[in-house]
């Protein structure tokens, strides 16, 4: 007996099936340009701090948000001293990582979980 499909499937010409349920992400649509600039920002951090994983040790999320906003405003002001959009993206990436992997680093009052 075959199981009734509950999830959306893609059927290939070969007859093979692949599940495509929502929530898995659309990785193929991520801009390679943005990822390249993000990776170069990581390389810059590795050169500057001597450790490409320094950020994973943990920092308060407010540090990443503050830095991201500073870079956005520098970009808006026309500063071309560095890739400010990549720097902002990098810091937002780090903030998202801390939210999930190091929630104890969350220090944004409106985002802090209240324990009862």
User: What does the pLDDT look like over 38-54, one tens digit per residue?
Assistant: 999 999 989 998 888 99
Taking phi over 0 as left and psi of -120 to 50 as alpha, with beta for the rest, 65 belongs to alpha
Distance from C-alpha of 86 to C-alpha of 71, rounded to nearest angstrom: 9
Distance from C-alpha of 11 to C-alpha of 40, rounded to nearest angstrom: 38
Pull the structure tokens for residue 113. Answer: 């979980």
- pLDDT confidence bin for 116, thresholds 50/70/90: very low
- In this predicted structure, the answer to whether residue 28 has a pLDDT above a threshold of 60 is yes
- pLDDT confidence bin for 22, thresholds 50/70/90: confident
* Alpha-carbon 37 to chain mean position: 13
**Number of residues that make up the chain:** 116
- For residues 97-108, give the mean pLDDT: 96
Count Cβ atoms below 10 Å from residue 44 Cβ, excluding itself: 16
């Amino acid at each position: 007996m075959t199981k009734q499909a509950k999830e959306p499937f893609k059927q290939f010409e070969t007859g093979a099936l692949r599940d495509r349920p929502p929530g898995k992400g659309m990785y193929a649509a991520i801009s390679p340009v943005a990822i390249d600039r993000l990776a170069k920002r990581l390389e810059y951090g590795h050169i500057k701090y001597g450790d490409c994983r320094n950020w994973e040790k943990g920092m308060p999320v407010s540090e990443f948000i503050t830095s991201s906003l500073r870079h956005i405003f520098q970009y808006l002001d026309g500063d071309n001293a560095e890739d400010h959009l990549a720097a902002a993206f990098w810091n937002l990436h780090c903030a998202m990582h801390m939210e999930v992997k190091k929630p104890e680093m969350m220090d944004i009052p409106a985002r802090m979980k209240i324990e009862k």
